[in-house]
Chains A and B, each alone.
Chain A
């Protein structure tokens, strides 16, 4: 399943956005349903996320890796998550670009799911992912502005 969403961070520079996205504390606060988020080695994190997608509910333990980092314009997230409704494997490309209005963050992800997530959740997952990403973007925007004292 392909998921794509983008957000314009008004008045925020690409560099400021990059720094926020690399801030562990900020990420912990902004990741929807995040219960824990620990860096276990450089650019590798263990996370626990509570997901509640219609009929699909549960705690996911996930390993998140950041690879192919090209500050401040690109990085890739490799996510392997596991929970009672099934497993998630995702590869997300994060692109940061300048625009007149501010930094634009585009996330395009290829997501593979198994189990109930696939058979029940598939239909609603596209929509829900967009919703969760939207929330994430808003939180990041708030944090970025806070850090930058805007």
Chain B
């Protein structure tokens, strides 16, 4: 049987984007469309004493100005959708516009609507807000201290939640041969998709329906949450996501802005468009990370780890965002042992309110942080006992025979063989030779560093019962419909929400194989809540594992029905029909056959169907997986550091990932490359900085360094395949592996390079200045 699954097809999605005919939110032009801009707080923490809109209203073209007070009682609060249980979680209300107090630079204060965007922007400056500036809480550890300013008066010590998982008997650390401690700060970063956020509301007064075009990774979640916020039936609210230039977690969140646009369109009975500016994005779109992680491991001199104890102090920002609370708790705290069989683990997480932009999921969401601390501390442990970090890893891996493997925090890893990608990566890089070369070069004064990351991560959110148990306010199943037209061409629908990942291509490959038809005969529909029955979104590397599973099952159902029709027409029993390469054949009788297209016509014409069979040929499936998936792999980074300038050169980057079945190696590699760029970005260049007044100091791309292609060597990536038993495709997730694996791999390489100076840790991002200063300090101490 010919197959396209497993082959590198170019993405169907690309031609229209490459020739500039994509259709993004800002391309939407509707008759009578108005333009909205949002006035944002310049203060981190202040009381709103008065808002004077008189001058602004007189400005030409201005239609309406809303303040928080104007909307009181007319619009609901924006809720968090991950209410983690058993952690005394205090969710404080976030209204679409601040009512009497602003809590971060960027907090919405007023929305101004005008006939064109220029008039809107000009008039915005004329709104006069009088603030009484309050002292802000900015840094999470300082915010928890006695006497710190309170972000919300009701929340003592600014502690939004205090979560714990796992307990370690006291004697484990007391009697351990070796205990190693370190504190890591996985710094705050901005997701920075190429397209900022956007929303266009189009209310239809005659029907009471609202169409909301917006940037979202999960249009059905937007529909569900916003129907509550706006008080509109889900059946009357249609959310459409046009082409979207990336999300990376930053577009999971349901934000005040989309609710405001929907409200204004309904109130004014005219379409309203809002496009976020880039500097607005830096302050008003959810940030990622900002977790201070104190970790302690116990082990023996022979390299075996026996316990890991972690305290995570997570900066949640001013409000709990859509998925915010789940990131430093469930996503992080249950994965702290990584790929290692460490018998004892405990994690305690403080979620802290501060006067900063809320934090939410960002590529990897909790797993990069978990991986960072374990992959870094294992290197420090290796150094402490004088072993090669590679050998410590091998000694502690959860063994292949143990799968499905239950980690110390109770998660069941679906499948794994951690030695396999490690072995492949070591061969590619010729590890032993490299270590010898490193030694030689060190003698010549050259600083070469080798960093390993043998990660595992939790992906593919499901099943729904587990989501409920961990406080996620929704399901995590997926659905798909595969609709066969009379010609045999196919329109398929899926609930996941592509925005650059290439679902139409990879899901198309699955359908093409199942139905034995060409890729060109298949079109997919996504991102429209009216066309697609339901979906829980694209995040947590779940689209292929969960969404692809639903697609595969829906296609199977088409084949099942088609087989019955073929058997009926060929006057044999269904068991006698075999289906191969798009042809239904009677076993053992050459020539007695029907093509897929013939059966498609028969099913749709319904002239002669088996008794009792309903017409048409359409398969629908709802797939709720039995478990998460756990992709894993080995990344190895080689760096060279210039000791005079602190400049780091990435010499080689080897990534061997095991993401289960790879549907399309080309698009999967694309995901790995992009993920690595973002992870290395975190390690080396990116970082959101607030000053002590809570002012955002990194509000432009001149102050916030994005990774660029020229910063990288060729990424040498390949895959091993260990199938997942929990979904029909056997696939795991590939979207976040690169980010999760690369951050510690780079840091381990840099710290390894600096070993001669006695350096054991440096804070991210690894700017040349920081590296240079560390070298100077190391020299002084030597």
Contacts and interface: CB of A to CB of B under 8 A. Distances in A.
Contact of A120 (B125, B693, B699): B699
B125 A87 contact: no
B279 A118 contact: no
18 contacts: A84-B125, A86-B42, A112-B693, A114-B42, A115-B42, A116-B279, A116-B699, A119-B279, A119-B282, A119-B696, A119-B698, A119-B699, A119-B700, A120-B279, A120-B700, A122-B703, A123-B702, A123-B703
A140 B703 CA distance: 35
Interface of B: 42-43, 105, 125, 279, 282-283, 691, 693, 695-700, 702-703
B128 to A, nearest CB: 9
A34 to B, nearest CB: 20
Nearest to B700: A120
A118 B125 contact: no
Given A84-B125, A119-B700, 5 more contacts: A58-B125, A116-B42, A119-B283, A119-B697, A122-B703
A114 B695 contact: yes
Given A86-B42, A120-B279, A114 B700 contact: no
A113 B42 CA distance: 9
Contacts of B698: 119
Contact of B105 (A58, A112, A115, A123): A115
Interface of A: 58, 84, 86-87, 112-116, 118-120, 122-123
A44 to B, nearest CB: 19
A39 B42 CA distance: 28
Nearest 7 interchain pairs by C-beta: A119-B699, A115-B42, A118-B695, A84-B125, A114-B42, A119-B696, A86-B42
Instruction: Decide if the interface of chain B is mainly helix, strand, loop or mixed.
Output: loop
A112 B282 CA distance: 20
A86 B125 CA distance: 10
B640 to A, nearest CB: 30
Nearest to A1: B691
A120 B695 CA distance: 11
A118 B700 contact: no
Contacts of A113: 695
Contacts of A112: 693
A122 B697 contact: yes
Contacts of B699: 116, 118-120
Contacts of A122: 697, 703
Contact of A114 (B43, B702, B703): B43
Contact of B691 (A115, A118, A120, A123): A118
Residue of A58, A115, A120, A122 ringed by the most chain B CB atoms within 10 A: A115
Contacts of B702: 123
Nearest to A113: B695
A49 to B, nearest CB: 16
Contacts of B691: 118
Among A86, A87, A122, the most chain B Cβ lie within 10 Å of the Cβ of A122
A118 to B, nearest CB: 4
A136 to B, nearest CB: 26
A87 B42 contact: yes
Nearest to A112: B693
B102 to A, nearest CB: 11
Nearest to A86: B42
A123 B695 CA distance: 13
Contacts of A114: 42-43, 105, 693, 695
Contacts of A84: 125
A130 to B, nearest CB: 20
A87 B128 CA distance: 12
Max chain A CB contacts within 10 Å: which of B42, B43, B691, B703? B42
B243 to A, nearest CB: 29
Contacts of B125: 58, 84
A118 B125 CA distance: 17
A67 B697 CA distance: 31
A118 B279 CA distance: 12
A57 B326 CA distance: 41
A9 B568 CA distance: 106
Nearest to A84: B125
Nearest to A87: B42
A120 B702 CA distance: 9
B135 to A, nearest CB: 13
A19 B699 CA distance: 42
A122 B279 CA distance: 14
A122 B704 CA distance: 13
Contacts of A118: 42, 105, 691, 695-697, 699
A118 B700 CA distance: 11
Contacts of A87: 42-43
